[in-house]
C-alpha cells in the first residue's frame, strides 16, 4: 500500500515538474518573441519618427522634404505564409541602379532605420527600401522570428526592390544592410542567395552591423545576464516550444552557419564595447565567412551605436566598401 502511494506521489511530482518546466518554457518564449515593446515601441510610428529626429537632427529637413515631394512611400506585399508585410521606400533623386535594402533590429521598425536610409539616399544617391519585419511596424504577425523566417521575407523584399527601382533601367545593383537582429537577418539571407532556388544576381554585397552568431547564443547570453540562469533546461525547452509553435528552433537560426555559404562580399561592423550582442560574436562570424570580406571594430560604442558615435567614418567605410562592388 505504501509502495502504491509512493508511486502515486512520485508520478504526481513528475507531472508537476514537467508542467512547471513547460510553463517556464512558454514564459521564456513569450518574453523573447512577444515582448511588450512590440506594441509600445515598434507599432508606434509617430513616436518612432519623433525619436529619430531627436537622435539624428539632420533627418528632420530630409524627411520633411521627402513628405512634401511625396517621395517617401509605402508598399505592401504578401509573403508565402499569407501575411501582409509593409515597407517604406524612396527613389533616388536621379535614376540609378544603386539600391539598398535596409533591415531593422529587434522591436524596431523601418522608421527607426531612417538614419541608415539617409546615409544611402541623401549621402550616396541610392534608391532605398526599408521593410517592417514580421510582427513589427505595419507588418502582420504576433511574434518576432529573430531573422530566421524573416530571411525568406527579405528575399522577397529584395525581389520587390529590384522590380520597383530597376524595371525601367534594366535592373538594380543592390546592397543589403542590417543592424542588430537586422544584421543577423542579413547574414541569414546571405546564405540563401545563389543557393537552391534563391537566385538574386542583382545582389552585389552585404553590410552587417552588430549581428549575433545564432539565436541560441544570443538567448543564452541574455538568460545569464538578465536572470543568472544556465541554458539547461529552460532554453532547451523554449527552443523546442518555438519549433512546435513557429517551425524553427534557436540552434537552427544560425547566422554563423549561413555566412559559411556566402561567397558575396560582406562588411562586418561591430562596436568594440557592445555587451548586448557581445563584440566577441563578430570574430567567429568573420572567420567563417569566405572571402571577400572586411571588418571594422568601431571604437567606443555599445550596441547598435556605431553610426551615431562615428557617422563620418561609418559613412566613409560603407561608401568605400560598396563602391568596390556597385557602380
Q: For helices 59-69 and 45-55, what crossing angle results, to 10°?
A: 130
The owner of cell 509605402 is: 74
DSSP state of 303: T
DSSP state of 198: B
Query: Please, what's the b/e burial string for 131-156 (b: 16 or more CB within 10 A of its CB; e: otherwise)?
Result: bbbbbbbbbbbebbbbbbbbbbbbbe
Query: What length does the chain have?
Result: 327
pLDDT at residue 197 in the model: 53
pLDDT at residue 200 in the model: 85
Domain ranges of the chain: 1-33+215-249, 39-213+253-323
Q: Is 47 helix (H, G, I), strand (E, B) or coil?
A: helix
Residue pair 161/172 in contact by the 8 Å Cβ criterion: yes
Q: Report, in angstroms and rounded to the nearest whole number, the Rg of the chain calculated over CA atoms.
A: 21
Fold for the domain defined by 39-213+253-323 = Rossmann fold (3.40.50)
Asked if the peptide bond before residue 55 counts as cis, ω within 30 degrees of 0, the response is no
Q: List average pLDDT for each run of 10 residues in the chain, which is 327 residues long.
A: 57 64 88 91 96 97 96 97 97 96 98 98 98 98 97 97 94 97 98 71 96 98 92 95 97 97 96 96 98 96 95 98 97
- From CA 307, how far away is CA 144, in angstroms rounded? 25
pLDDT at residue 16 in the model: 67
- From CA 283, how far away is CA 270, in angstroms rounded? 10
pLDDT at residue 123 in the model: 97
Residue pair 152/196 in contact by the 8 Å Cβ criterion: no
Amino acid at each position: 500500500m505504501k509502495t502504491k502511494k509512493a508511486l502515486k506521489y512520485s508520478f504526481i511530482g513528475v507531472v508537476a515538474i514537467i508542467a512547471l518546466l513547460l510553463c517556464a518554457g512558454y514564459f521564456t518564449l513569450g518574453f523573447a518573441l512577444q515582448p511588450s515593446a512590440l506594441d509600445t515601441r515598434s507599432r508606434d510610428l509617430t513616436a518612432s519618427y519623433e525619436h529619430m529626429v531627436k537622435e539624428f537632427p539632420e533627418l528632420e529637413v530630409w524627411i520633411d522634404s521627402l513628405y512634401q515631394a511625396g517621395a517617401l512611400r509605402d508598399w505592401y506585399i504578401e509573403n508565402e505564409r499569407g501575411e501582409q508585410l509593409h515597407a517604406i521606400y524612396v527613389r533616388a533623386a536621379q535614376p540609378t541602379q544603386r539600391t539598398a535594402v535596409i533591415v531593422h533590429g529587434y522591436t524596431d521598425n523601418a522608421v527607426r532605420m531612417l538614419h541608415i536610409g539617409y546615409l544611402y539616399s541623401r549621402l550616396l544617391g541610392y534608391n532605398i527600401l526599408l521593410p517592417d519585419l514580421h510582427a513589427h511596424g505595419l507588418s502582420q504577425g504576433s511574434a518576432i522570428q529573430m531573422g530566421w523566417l524573416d530571411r525568406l521575407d527579405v528575399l522577397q523584399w529584395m525581389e520587390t526592390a529590384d522590380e520597383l527601382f530597376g524595371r525601367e533601367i534594366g535592373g538594380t545593383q543592390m546592397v543589403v544592410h542590417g543592424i542588430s537582429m537586422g544584421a543577423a537577418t542579413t547574414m541569414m539571407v546571405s546564405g540563401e542567395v545563389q543557393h537552391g532556388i534563391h537566385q538574386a544576381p542583382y545582389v552585389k554585397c552585404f553590410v552587417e552591423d552588430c549581428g549575433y552568431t545564432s539565436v541560441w547564443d544570443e538567448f543564452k547570453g541574455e538568460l545569464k545576464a538578465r536572470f543568472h540562469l544556465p541554458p539547461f533546461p529552460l532554453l532547451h525547452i523554449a527552443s523546442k516550444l518555438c519549433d512546435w509553435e513557429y517551425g524553427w528552433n534557436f540552434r537552427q537560426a544560425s547566422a554563423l552557419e549561413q555566412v559559411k555559404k556566402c561567397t558575396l562580399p560582406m562588411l562586418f561592423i561591430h562596436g568594440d564595447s557592445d555587451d548586448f550582442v557581445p563584440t566577441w560574436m563578430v570574430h567567429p562570424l568573420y572567420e567563417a565567412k569566405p572571402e571577400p570580406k572586411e571588418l571594422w571594430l568601431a571604437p567606443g560604442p555599445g550596441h547598435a551605436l556605431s553610426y551615431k558615435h562615428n557617422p563620418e567614418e561609418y559613412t566613409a567605410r560603407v561608401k568605400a566598401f560598396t563602391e568596390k562592388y556597385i557602380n
